[in-house]
Amino acid sequence: MGQGCCTSRSVVEPVSQNQNASVNSITNQPNAPGPLAVTTGVSTHQPAAAGGEDKDFIPIRTTAKPIVFFVLGGPGSGKGTLCANLVKKQKFVHFSAGDLLREVAKEDSEDSKLVNSYISQGKIVPVRITISLIENAMRAKGWEKCRYLIDGFPRNLDNYQGWNEVIGDKADLKGIIFITCTEETMMKRILKRGETSGRVDDNVDTAKKRFVTYNSETFPIIEAKRKENPDSVFEVSAENSPDQVYAECMKKIAHHL
């Protein structure tokens, strides 16, 4: 699972002249999008330049609610890889629903058996389990103090309803980062990852089932959201290199940070 946050935030103060001095090559704006930026005792919150971090870092703003992006795309499309870059370069906090569920699967509990059986069949685990994992993970990281990537969620209507019931207005959901590539590319990536991942679902048979689940349950959610509000779906091609995928993604979401 990706990391990178903020365990505490001590002060909120005006952006310094120094921070304003640089221009963000993604947004073409001074390197602070609003009048306020967060300063913190935790180094991961500091703007880029000084410590050799990304020059295009957009400082994290204080908001009443946590900023959230869902990250969706087919199995093996590269969601985790994109999220890792966003964590590294923009200090997002990243939770992969799949990773959280795989942790549960390792336990010795009733839930773990159920989760294991869903994952092995490429099916979507009931949201009561997944949403509490996500909410607990966000609360443990500081809630409104961070900006979050929720990767591999919502995977179906049940997931989406669970989000609305449990979190809904408590978060500032900016939309869905939707990464796309062909099934051929996804299959190649899954099988390559399967050489070392140890995942029970990184094999041809389960991958095919996951494609079916994606096409029948996940893609319709994305399409419904796009129909409702086209500006809330940030589509990015995942066929290119990870750096290009990151750059294209940032062009689409920078104005929401």
ω before 154 within 30° of 0 (cis)?
yes
Pairing mode, strands 36-39 and 11-14 = antiparallel
Helix (H, G, I), strand (E, B) or coil at 4: coil
Straight-line distance from the first to the last Cα atom of the chain, in angstroms, rounded to the nearest whole number: 22
**What burial class does residue 81 get, using C-beta atoms within 10 Å of its C-beta: 0-12 exposed, 13-18 middle, 19+ buried?**
middle
Partner whose footprint covers residue 123, from ligand ADP, Mg ion, ligand C5P, none (CB < 5 to 8 Å by kind):
ligand C5P
245 binds ligand C5P (CB under 6 A): no
Residues of this chain, 76-135, that bind Mg ion according to CB under 5 A: 79-80
Tokens 């494609």: give the residue: 211
Residue 76 sits at φ, ψ, to 5 deg, of 75, 10
Partner whose footprint covers residue 119, from ligand C5P, ligand ADP, Mg ion, none (CB < 5 to 8 Å by kind):
ligand C5P
The residue with its CB nearest to ligand C5P is 98
The residue with its CB nearest to ligand ADP is 78
Task: Note the residues at the interface with ligand ADP (CB under 6 A).
Answer: 73, 75-81, 189, 192-193, 238, 241-242, 245
Cβ-proximal residues to 88 (8 Å cutoff; 6+ apart), any chain: 4, 54
Give the nearer residue to Mg ion in terms of CB position, either 67 or 179.
179
Rounded Cα distance, 140 and 91, in Å = 16
Give the nearer residue to ligand C5P in terms of CB position, either 118 or 234.
118
Partner whose footprint covers residue 236, from Mg ion, ligand ADP, ligand C5P, none (CB < 5 to 8 Å by kind):
none
211 binds ligand C5P (CB under 6 A): no
Residue 64 sits at φ, ψ, to 5 deg, of -70, -25
What is the smallest separation between the CB atom of 238 and ligand ADP, expressed in angstroms? 6
Give the nearer residue to ligand C5P in terms of CB position, either 200 or 247.
200
- Which residues in this chain contact Mg ion in the complex, by CB under 5 A? 79-80
